[in-house]
A and B are shown apart, each in its own frame.
Chain A
């Protein structure tokens, strides 16, 4: 069955960077977008951006432009967020999506904690 397995929890200091991975299996990796969505404690879902593994094309939410980079290799997608602040503390999810942004499979989430 389709699976997205994310890397483990991270603790970072303000100003540092974090790179979260999302390993895909049991489907054609290049056939679907990978979206990254985050959820701060007690808050709603926030779209960060997406990557098209077929051509490495990316789209980023304006809020994260200049701070986020989405990449991929064979069957793994990565999301790197730089210049971390305390309000970046959140669970970060990757999700498989079609072109029209319907995300049918989600990773288990990665907690990133930012604290001095």
Chain B
């Protein structure tokens, strides 16, 4: 199976909102409500932000939200802050497989 498709980059100014998309297929994103989003800062391990499409992991600010429509999931970061600058990866359960997106570098201008 192919990786999920994410835009390579996204950006926004402090206080603004930005949305990152993640497109898969009916066999993964579209077929299950088990999409996760991870944040990764340089040199660090990934951190779970969102699971089951829209549930925030413990300690994650409510500025982060997730949604899904058809074969595309989305992560929205509202009220951008400098510390949100990082790489973001989506991931989907796909039966006996797990898929990752290629990652989106979020820049806070």
**Among A50, A61, A100, A102, contact of B48 (Cβ-Cβ < 8 Å):** A102
User: How far apart are the CA atoms of A100 and B94 in the complex, in Å?
Assistant: 9
Contacting pair B98 A101 (CB below 8 A): yes
Consensus secondary structure, chain B interface:
strand
**Chain A residues positioned under 8 Å from B98 (CB to CB):** 35, 47, 50, 101
* Interface 0/1 of B74-109, CB less than 8 Å to A: 000000000000010101110011111111000000
Q: Choose, from A66-74, A79-87, A103-111, the stretch at the interface.
A: A103-111
Q: Interface size class for chain A? A: 20 to 34
Contacting pair A104 B48 (CB below 8 A): yes
Q: Is B14 an interface residue (CB 8 A)?
A: no
A101-B91 contact given A47-B100, A93-B46, CB 8 Å threshold: yes
Contacting pair B100 A46 (CB below 8 A): yes
Residue in chain B with minimal CB distance to A109: B45
User: How far apart are the CA atoms of A50 and B38 in the complex, in Å?
Assistant: 18
Contacting pair B99 A44 (CB below 8 A): no
| B positions within 8 Å CB-CB of A | 1, 3, 32, 34, 36, 38, 40, 45-48, 51-52, 57, 87, 89, 91-93, 96-103
